[in-house]
Amino acid sequence: MQSLYVPGTTHVHRAPAGVKLAVLALLGLALFATARLVVVAAAFVLVLAAGLLWARLPRRALLSQVRPVWIWLVALFGFHLLVTGPLVGAVAVLRLLTLVIAAAVVTATTRVTALVAVIEWLTSPLRVFGVRPGRIGLVIAMTLRFIPLVADRAARIREAQAARGADRVRPAMVVPLLVQVLRMATTVGEALDARGAGDVTARRPGRRAAVDSVRTT
Amino acid sequence: MKTKDLAYIALFAAIVAVLGLLPPVPVPGIPVPITAQTLGVMLAGSVLGARRGGLALLAFLAVVAVGLPVLSGGRGGLGVFVGPSAGYLYSWPIAAFVIGLLTQLFWRRYNLAWALVANLIGGLLVIYAIGIPFTSLYADIPLWTSFTGAFAFIPGDVVKAVAASLVAVAVHKAYPVIDLPTRRATAG
């Protein structure tokens, strides 16, 4: 799971991140409010067109997001086939597929820094309670960066253990992984402190620099 | 809260996300699959403690809400927060917080038994106490039906609690991140 952003200059790429997220949220609500196959199918076609034609994303940018859901979609359809019927199953599967692709389009066309800025904006009213939006943005930016990193470390440790003949994941294998990534997080925290992230986020002017230093795009 | 703590919070949010990339095990008849993600909830509380553990799960939910399909089965976006099983999602930060609180309480005599107590109370009791009534209210089904529906998950969750406890005890020895008692003693 590498950085999912696909650079581009289309209208979709240049649309404000807040607008894209709002559209995504509305789409999610609308899809769950309806159970009609025609409506969900129309939304599916529209989202697919927005991704492939309007944003000119490569097919694999969307496919890579759909692939992990595949088994889940088949299971969901099978479940509905047995319990409720093929029509409900088709709606449920198409709804999920549409949402995953829509999310993939937003993710692929929006820089992480822009997404983080939206969250900071959304959480800024919490300032009254002593919450610092800049630090929330920093945590989310770091989370996005850490996901591929942790996945990569996990794969490496699994391979190393497999090479020594271990065929199953056991708790004992998870410990070196956790220690490794905890140590890494400690280093990242210290590095950010050394660059002044600790106090600058509290005030204001250089805030963006702190987030940019860990951005993933 | 130091920058290092923010990094730990982000790290465990990422760990829960990576656990969600593992393929889920669907249970016939129940719309919620067995996932490894509650393992991450337990680990976040057990390793980071109450505040940071709870915040790690909040950060994870924020990443889900932003539209990243990091919930098991590739789910994500705001849709998952309105479904019948959303109560389980909302319970995660609270569960991690409770596990962290108990872990801090047991910190000086922390071993497998105490770790299990913390993870079973926080990782099973708290999650079910929030998730089951939520589903029952949302889908308008009797509490008992919702409870029997959740029953299929208990064996898997107990296994996860044991696994999380084994890992937590080992991490407690190898790289303890909770250091309240000693810090407080030297500061005071």
- What is the residue extent of each domain of chain B? 3-76+86-187
- Residues A28, A65, single domain; the answer is yes
Q: Is residue A96 part of a domain?
A: yes
With a CB cutoff of 8 Å and minimum separation 6, the contacts of A145 are A214, A215, A216, B10
Task: Please tell me whether residues A106 and A152 are part of one structural domain.
Answer: no
From chain A residues 144-163, the ones with a CB under 8 A of any chain B CB are 144-147, 149-151, 154
Residue A123 lies in a domain: no
Alpha-carbon dihedral A166, A171, A174, A179, rounded to 10 degrees: -130
Partners of A47 on chain B (C-beta within 8 Å) are none
Residues 24-63 of A with CB under 8 A from B: 24-25, 28-29, 31-32
Question: Rounded to whole angstroms, how far apart are CA atoms A111 and B184?
Answer: 42
| Residues A97 and A136 grouped into a single domain | no
Q: What is the least distance, in Å, from the CA of B121 to any CA of chain A?
A: 20
A111, A217 contact by CB (below 8 A): yes
Q: Are residues A164 and A202 in the same domain?
A: yes
Flag whether A120 is in a domain. no
Per-residue pLDDT 10s for chain A (217 aa) are 445 678 889 999 999 999 998 898 888 888 878 888 999 999 999 999 999 999 999 998 788 767 756 766 787 787 778 777 888 888 888 888 888 788 888 878 888 778 778 888 888 888 888 888 888 888 988 998 898 889 888 888 878 888 888 766 666 778 989 999 999 999 999 998 888 776 544 444 444 544 444 444 4
Q: Domain range spanning residue A92?
A: 11-110
Q: B2, B46, B60, B66: best mutation site toward chain A, by most A Cβ within 10 Å?
A: B66
Kindly give the residue spans of alpha helices, DSSP state H, lying in chain B: 3-21, 37-48, 50-65, 86-106, 112-120, 127-139, 143-151, 154-174, 180-187
The residue among A68, A84, A110 that closes a domain is A110
Residue B20 sits at the vertex; the CA angle it makes with B13 and B87, to the nearest 5 degrees, is 80
Q: Which run of H or of E encompasses A122?
A: helix A112-123
Nearest to B23 among A71, A151, A171 (CB): A71
pLDDT digits (tens, 9 = 90+) for A93-132: 888 888 878 888 887 888 877 877 888 888 888 888 888 8
Number of structural domains in chain A: 2
Residue A121 in any domain: the answer is no
Chosen for mutation from A139, A168, A201, A217 (greatest number of chain B CBs closer than 10 Å) is: A139
B145 φ, ψ (degrees, to nearest 5): -65, -45
The CA distance from B127 to the nearest CA of chain A, in Å, is 22
A62 and A150 co-located in one domain: no
Last residue of a domain, one of A110, A144, A170: A110
Q: Does the structural domain B3-76+86-187 have CATH classification 1.10.1760.20? A: yes
* CB interface of A with B, residues 100-119, below 8 Å: 100, 102-104, 106-107, 115, 118-119
In a domain, A17, yes or no: yes
Same domain, A63 and A91: yes
- Same domain (yes/no): A96, A26: yes
Q: Which of A79, A147, A198 sits opposite B2 (nearest CB)?
A: A198
Q: Are residues A80 and A139 in the same domain?
A: no
Torsion sign (Cα): A99, A104, A107, A110: negative
Collapsing DSSP to helix, strand or coil, B34 comes out as strand
Q: How many CB atoms lie within 10 A of CB A39?
A: 16
Higher pLDDT, B148 or B76: B148
Of A78, A110, A142, the domain-final residue: A110
Is A144 in the same domain as A91? Answer: no
Which residue from A72, A103, A140 is facing B77, i.e. has the nearest CB? A103
The reply to whether A135 and A196 lie within a common domain is: yes
> Residue A12 burial (CB < 10 Å; 0-12/13-18/19+)?
buried
Are A106 and A145 in the same domain?
no
